[in-house]
Structure 1
């Protein structure tokens, strides 16, 4: 069967082939099964929390991430505050932090490219102890991103209990 669908490559017979229903159905069934087997593989992504409370000021790269309890990050690596993906595609990224004490100053959290030069997603507050941000960004294989926090005056972001993903980050490849 020389013809295949353009997106998934599922085979189908041409108009001039000898009809063979069983062989055509077998070829299609095997192609569909192969596609489903690929979809059943583990999902690329993971979750991290900070290893300990951390003082932030103007702006601060959050760099003490540790895998969240029960999370086994796959297809993404972290080193010194930089997250790097191994497989390209759209990635859903969310991050948030909680400060230790009340604030009457600006608090920001933002997600940038791997160099920290281009801000992709940003959020702020002046009245809350919590601030979070999320977005979806298409990254190439080997692409990277960072998460920064900003406070108008020194503040401590909080590492909550082991079972709490605050302060934390979640990043998963969409359409695994």
Structure 2
């Protein structure tokens, strides 16, 4: 079964032109204040059970340690044959804000709620990333960034797959689709 770090996510941005949700585009005036709202909920129960009673640890319900609000510039379509066209990443992408449980409230429906304001200075996208891991967890994260998983190489397939599943369950992440904020000319 999946780790189920969260079972619900709402992510929106609101400005003078209205409110848009993940995948939407908010048109804003230059230097307009945009309010970002993040609502997420963790499931009530632990959906992971280790398949064998072999002295392995008991897993508890995962909880979100932190949520990152990530921003990157939107500059238009890159032309074929240019370095920008062949780039695998957007060099302007960065973590704009990091939120922990001290930064969110719980609403009457049991959702964790974060509100944050950004100033629309130029066209950008906003997206989310959240995890149950801390900022600096040995072999897992460095400065909040995920590290590659170490290879698990057991000869016995059942034990190998169980070890992979246990590792994955303890290293949970969620990602959102972006909200685009387009600054009008």
- Please confirm whether the aligned pair reaches a TM-score higher than 0.5, indicating the same fold: no
| Short-chain TM bin | 0.3 to 0.5
Which of the pair has more CA radius of gyration? 1
TM-score, scaled relative to structure 2:
0.34
Q: Which has the larger strand fraction? A: 1
- TM-score, normalised on structure 1? 0.36
